[in-house]
Structure formats: structure tokens, C-alpha cells
């Protein structure tokens, strides 16, 4: 359980390592399963979600955590949002939130019924593994942006317009309450820690984040019974505020030198932050890049090795094993 | 000529202001002209490029600079790259650079013949205006990414792969030489200052930027006869390196609080950095956002007011005039 120890900044025998999106398209067994089942079906069928979650655990001895296979938008469907995964395009919201009326229409999920497959998948995985299992959810801002924009956006114009209206705090409160409950149910089902993904927060100024986002993420992170990992991409200008919002661990984007990030994040554990593209390098260069991250972490207590964003589909599987082994070997106390 | 004074960090009567992409789709006269002429045609017909460049100057009294209407890809066409502007999709490279062979095939433009329309447009605009005229070009990394990826990319995987081969320095040297010459010809034609856009540099780690990009941008910025503005988006982790690469002025992305950016950029002038989305706010809130930027600039010598990225098409024209007037009034010495 070295990952949980690291999350609490306790002594570990060596640095724990896992990979964001470690169950995914770079694995042939995942691609095989995806031929037969769309993403949402996998998320909502416990035996499939558990199977995909376990794929990297079986394949890569030494991996220090499993993360439940799911999608951040699974949570908003029982709130009344219609989501479609368009092939090659990613998710599309069929009934975007345009204003107060749609915000007020969002309902509270009946978690134990409507999201039962997620918790059931967690229970199944827990019965099969000895490493910690991570749960996760999208953070309120990232979910709100999806709901308002209908999909990814270049400038988040609609979201930022809504941010200035009285509907925004209502939307964010509803989402924060739903995210918080969803994470607590995941913990109850057996998740040993949870990660909050605020993937799009980097598109806010520090002031926008502080005023319109931070209170809602804090509302979630304050109240969880397990260690929390708080991650955002493109967040070099937001690190202190992410820490202020909460998290036992702050996940650091690959673009930020880890030593500089950690100097700004004193007092918490840190996760990251190899460039996902480094995984495509020949072995020697890849391990040199890993060594660079480790040198910047400099054995500070509380380092969880990971990429600084999700693993890319072109990643060779031998890179994953090489990184796991190398991190463990190099950091053995 | 307060913009040129500010670029040299000299005393000004008030803070100069211009807007990235100030000639563009938010203006009805621009949309009108674009109905009849594709972008590349406007760029390559001096009378049209001059007309579009002048549109915001005519419309907004007080604007402190014109910027020649062009496109960063205009430069690579005479190098042998075929560019198509796909409607609603942006530019697409028909013959992307895949390796050494395509790099070696890139030729040096015959600037005075093949890019004459750009320089001719500059001469025409200069004859009509009293404010400074800015030239511009894409920086070598941003151009190289376009050439290698064929268009925008999420992860720049191909570019980063090429970066590790001996073809990369050859590609970057060719591009840097072409960009440098293009900017010098623009200055010779009458551009009073030039801006180097490294729009995509934010997708690099500091180490990647330092090793594979900085030397080539410096090669350009070192040798120009006019003041230079060096701009990159998503660059919170790169500010010191952008300054090291050069530029009389560093353009700051809207996400970074201007006071923090400037503390890190001691010794140069600074341009920026209102959130382009703030231009959509009601007048009072917009001016409050402007005041916040001005407060962070705190009358340090060398502030050029601008957005922290290009103006968006939804921008109301009265916002542009309101910002110009407000910046001048508030900063009157």
C-alpha cells in the first residue's frame, strides 16, 4: 500500500507508480473489448468495467494502483443530461445547459440505484487485487463546462458567460454535491483513494478559478473519508489555488518542472509528471526522462510517480513495464 | 508613437493599446470583404491586405498600432509547402514534413518576389497612417509543428518525435532563417516593430523549449533592426525562457496574473493581458477587468495594453472603443 503511504507523506520502501488512463487504447486486450462494447456500456456493466480495470494490473507486475474504469460523464446522465459518444469525436451533450431553467431541471441522482454499476465494479475489483484501488470523478468546473458547451471548447465563452449569472453557483453547488456523493459512494464500495479531475481548469485565470471554482472543489475535497488526488492540466498558473481547494496529493501537469511545482506546493504530496510523449522514446531516453522527474522529486516524502497527463494510445506496452521497474529500482530506500 | 516608446520602456503620455487579431471577424466590414475573398487571397493582394489592416484604424480612434493583415503560413508556401484553408477547420498542410527528405526539400523563399505582396501592403498602409505599423511572423516551433502535424494537434507527437532526430535542427534553422529574413523585409518595407507568435510553444516542457526551440527563436530576435514583441500562449511555465530567447517586449497570455508575470520578466517591456472573453462583458464589468490589468501593471515603464490572446469573433465593437478610451484615460500621466 505504498501509494496510500505516499499520499499521506509517510515513509515508503520505494516510490509508487501508476499511470493516468492506464486501462486504455494502447492495450490490445482493451481494444479487443472495445470492438464489442461502446464506452458507456463498459462503464455501466460491472463485469466489463472490472475486467478493463484489471487489464493493466494483470499485464504489468509492480503497478502500485488500479483505477476504476469509468467516465466523468457517467455522473451527469442520472442528473438528466443526455450524453452521446460520437466515434472519433468524444462525448457530445444532447441537451446542453443554457441557463437557469436547465440548471434548475438538473436532479440529484439516485446514486445507489442509478450509479450502482460503478460501485459494483469497485467491489468486484477490490475482491481481486492487493494494490489500492482509486475511484475518480470530474471536478464541478470541468463537468459544468461539458454541460454548458456541449463538448470541448476552445474559449469556454458560454461557460464564462454563465459564470457571471446567478445560475452559476446553483449549477456548481448541484454538481459539487453530486460529485462529493459519488466519490463517497465509491469510497464506501472500496475505493482506497479518489482522484478529482479538473481537466479544463487551466482555461481560467487565477481570479476566475478563485471566485467561481475553488469553493465548489473545496466543498468536495474537504469532506472525503479517503486520501484525495487533485489534478488539473495546463495549471502552471493555478498550483497554489489547487492546493488551497484541497487534496492530499496535487497532480502536476507534465509541462511544469516538478521541482518548481513542488516548491510551490509545500505541505502536500505530489503526483507526476512525466511527459506522456516520453513513453514513445527508445528505452534509454525514456529512462533518462524518468530519472529527470525523480531527480526533481529528490526523494521528498510524498511522491507518487505518474505521467503529467493521460497515457497516449501509441504508447508501447514495454515502456509501461520499464518505467514501473525503473522507478521502483531507482527509489528503493 | 507611444507604442514604440513603451517597447523601449521610455516615458509615455499614457499606456498604448492595440488588440491581437484587431482586424477580424468581429468587424462587419471584414466579414463583408471575406465573403468575396478567401484569406490567402487577401494576404497576397496588397490592396486587400492594406484595406483590412486599415479597417480597425478607421473604426477606432485612439488605437495605438496597426498590424499588417497576413497569416503565419504565408511564409512557408514559397518554401514548398502546400497550404489549404478548409472552411471552418483552419489551415491544412497538403504535404506535411515527415522526415529528413522533406526538410531538405524545403527551399529558401525568393522573398522580394514571392512575398512582395506582404511588403507592398506594408508600404501602402504606412502611407495612410500615423500610428506605428507592426509586422509579424510565426516562430520556428509553431511553424514546424504546423508543417509536421499538418494542422493543429492535441499532443504534438510527430513534432516531438522529429525533435529527437538530426533533421530537427536543420528544419528549425531553415525556418529561423526564413522568419528572420521575412521580418527584416517587413521592417525594410516600413514595419516599425514586429511580433513573433510562438502560439504553440506552451505545449513544450521548459527543457524541450530550452534545447529544441530557444536557440532558433533567439537567432531571429537577436538580429532585427526594430523593436520585437515575443508572444506565446499557455506559457506560464516558460516566461523566463521566452525572455531569454529575446524580445524587447514579452507578450503575456491572459491566464497569468500580469503582476506575477512581470515580476518574473524584469528588464523587458510587457504586453497584455486582458482575457479576450472579458470583451463580451457589460461595459462596467469589462472596465473593471481592464482596471485590474492596469493595477497589476502598476505604471511600470514599458506596458503595452493588449488582450492575452486574439480578439474573439463575438466581441462587440463598442467594447474595443471603450477599452481604448479607458486605458488612455486611466493611465494619463
In this structure, the strands spanning B66-67 and B133-138 are parallel
Can you give the pLDDT at residue B305? 98
Cβ-based contacts of A285 with chain B (< 8 Å): 164
Is A157 close to B254, i.e. CB distance below 8 A?
A: no
Compute the Cα dihedral for B108, B91, A148, B281 and give only its sign. positive
B102: domain CATH number? 3.20.20.210
Give the percent of chain B with pLDDT over 70.
100
Tell me whether B234 touches chain A (CB under 8 Å): yes
* Nearest-CA distance B54 → chain A (Å): 27
Per-residue pLDDT at B40 exceeds 80:
yes
| A274-316 tens-digit pLDDT | 999 999 999 999 999 999 999 999 999 999 999 999 999 999 9
CA–CA gap between residue B120 and residue B46 (Å, rounded):
6
| Chain A residues closer than 8 Å to B314 by CB | 157
Mean pLDDT, chain B, as a whole number? 96
pLDDT at residue A1 in the model: 87
What average pLDDT does range B298-302 have in this prediction? 94
Nearest to B277 among A160, A275, A280 (CB): A160
Cβ of residue A255 closer than 8 Å to a chain B Cβ: yes
- Comparing CB atoms, the residue among A157, A237, A275 nearest residue B312 is A157
CB atoms within 10 A of CB A313: 14
Residue A314 is nearest to which of B157, B164, B234, comparing CB atoms?
B157
What residues make up the domain containing A245? 2-331
**pLDDT (0 to 100) of residue A15:** 98
pLDDT computed for residue A199 by the predictor: 92
**Is B271 part of the contact surface with chain A (CB cutoff 8 Å)?**
no
Which of A205, A210, A289, A307 should we substitute to test contact with B (largest number of B Cβ atoms within 10 Å)?
A205
**Rounded mean pLDDT of B36-55?**
97
What is the chain B residue with the closest CA to A281? Answer: B161
Question: How many whole angstroms separate alpha carbon B280 and alpha carbon B317?
Answer: 10
Per-residue pLDDT tens digits for B189-200 = 999 999 999 999
Question: For chain A, what's the residue count?
Answer: 333
pLDDT at position B86, please? Answer: 80
The ipTM (two decimal places) reads 0.81
Question: Is the CB of B234 less than 8 angstroms away from the CB of A202?
Answer: yes
Residue B219, phi then psi, degrees to nearest 5: -55, -35
pLDDT digits (tens, 9 = 90+) for B246-270: 999 999 999 999 999 999 998 999 9
Alpha helices in A163-306 (DSSP H): 167-189, 206-212, 214-221, 239-245, 258-264, 283-297
Average pLDDT rounded to a whole number, residues B210-238: 96
Closest approach of chain A CAs to the CA of B179, in angstroms? Answer: 26
Low-confidence ranges of chain A (pLDDT < 50): none
Measured in angstroms, the CA of A149 and the nearest CA of chain B are apart by 15
Give the distance, in angstroms, between the CA of residue B227 and the centroid of all CA atoms in the same chain.
13
Q: B88 Cβ partners below 8 Å, 6+ apart?
A: none
CA distance B28 to B36: 13
Please report the pLDDT score of residue A151 as a whole number. 85
What are the chain B neighbours of A203 within 8 Å (beta carbons)? 255
Contact A292 B207 (CB under 8 A): yes
A292–B236: do the CB atoms touch at under 8 Å? no
Mean pLDDT score across all residues of chain A: 96
**Chain B residues with CB-CB distance to A292 below 8 A:** 207
Strand A133-138 relative to strand A66-67, pairing: parallel
Task: Give how far Cα A107 sits from Cα of A24, A80, A119, Å.
Answer: 31, 7, 20
Rg value, chain A, Cα: 19
- Grid coordinates representing B323 are 477599452
Q: Residue A152's pLDDT is what?
A: 80
Query: Which of residues B91 and B321 earns the better pLDDT score?
Result: B321
CB-nearest to B254 from A205, A260, A276 is A205
Question: CA dist A236 to A39, A241, A253, A289, B331, Å?
Answer: 31, 10, 8, 20, 30
Q: Is the pLDDT of residue B144 over 90?
A: yes
Orientation of helix B167-189 relative to helix B116-126, angle to 10°: 30
Tell me the Cα Rg of chain B: 19
Scanning A115-212, the segments in alpha helix (DSSP H) are 116-126, 140-149, 157-162, 167-189, 206-212
Q: CB contact, 8 Å: B148 with chain A?
A: no
pTM for the model stands at: 0.89
Any idea which residues of A carry the catalytic annotation?
A: 21, 25, 34, 71, 146
Are A202 and B255 an interchain contact pair (Cβ–Cβ within 8 Å)?
Answer: yes
In sequence order, which ranges of B150-282 are alpha helices (DSSP H)? Answer: 157-162, 167-189, 206-212, 214-221, 239-245, 258-264
Tell me what the mean pLDDT of segment B124-151 comes to: 97
Q: What is the pLDDT of residue A149?
A: 95
pLDDT at position A85, please? 85
Confidence of residue B241 (pLDDT cuts 50, 70, 90): very high
Q: What is the number of structural domains in chain B?
A: 1
CB-based contact (8 Å) between B315 and chain A? no
Amino acid at each position: 500500500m505504498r501509494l496510500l503511504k505516499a499520499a499521506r507523506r509517510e515513509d515508503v520502501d520505494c516510490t509508487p507508480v501508476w499511470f493516468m488512463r492506464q486501462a486504455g487504447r494502447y492495450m490490445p486486450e482493451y481494444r479487443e473489448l472495445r470492438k464489442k462494447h461502446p464506452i458507456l456500456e463498459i462503464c455501466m456493466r460491472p463485469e466489463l468495467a472490472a475486467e478493463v480495470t484489471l487489464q493493466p494490473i494483470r499485464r504489468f507486475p509492480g503497478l502500485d494502483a488500479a483505477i476504476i474504469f469509468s467516465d466523468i460523464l457517467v455522473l451527469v446522465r442520472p442528473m438528466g443530461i443526455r450524453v452521446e459518444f460520437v466515434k472519433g469525436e468524444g462525448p457530445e451533450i444532447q441537451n446542453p445547459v443554457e441557463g437557469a431553467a436547465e440548471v434548475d431541471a438538473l436532479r440529484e441522482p439516485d446514486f445507489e440505484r442509478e450509479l450502482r454499476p460503478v460501485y459494483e465494479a469497485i467491489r468486484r475489483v477490490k475482491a481481486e487485487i492487493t494494490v489500492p484501488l482509486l475511484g475518480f470523478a470530474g471536478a464541478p468546473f470541468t463537468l459544468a463546462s461539458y454541460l454548458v458547451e456541449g463538448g470541448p471548447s476552445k474559449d469556454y465563452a458560454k461557460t464564462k458567460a454563465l459564470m457571471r449569472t446567478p445560475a452559476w453557483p446553483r449549477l456548481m453547488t448541484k454538481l459539487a454535491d453530486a460529485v462529493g456523493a459519488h466519490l463517497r459512494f465509491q469510497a464506501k464500495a472500496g475505493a482506497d483513494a479518489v482522484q478529482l479531475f479538473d481537466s479544463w481548469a487551466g482555461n481560467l485565470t487565477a481570479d476566475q478559478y478563485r471566485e467561481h471554482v475553488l469553493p465548489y472543489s473545496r466543498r468536495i475535497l474537504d469532506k472525503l473519508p479517503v486520501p484525495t488526488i487533485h489534478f488539473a492540466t495546463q495549471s502552471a498558473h493555478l498550483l497554489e489555488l489547487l492546493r488551497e481547494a484541497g487534496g492530499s496529493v496535487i497532480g502536476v501537469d507534465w509541462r511544469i518542472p516538478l521541482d518548481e511545482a513542488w516548491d510551490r506546493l509545500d505541505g502536500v504530496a505530489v503526483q507526476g509528471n512525466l511527459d506522456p510523449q516520453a513513453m514513445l522514446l527508445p528505452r534509454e531516453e525514456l529512462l533518462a526522462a524518468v530519472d529527470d522527474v525523480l531527480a526533481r522529486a529528490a526523494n521528498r516524502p510524498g511522491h507518487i510517480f505518474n505521467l503529467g497527463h493521460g497515457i497516449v494510445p501509441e504508447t508501447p506496452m514495454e515502456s509501461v513495464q520499464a518505467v514501473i521497474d525503473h522507478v521502483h529500482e531507482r527509489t528503493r530506500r
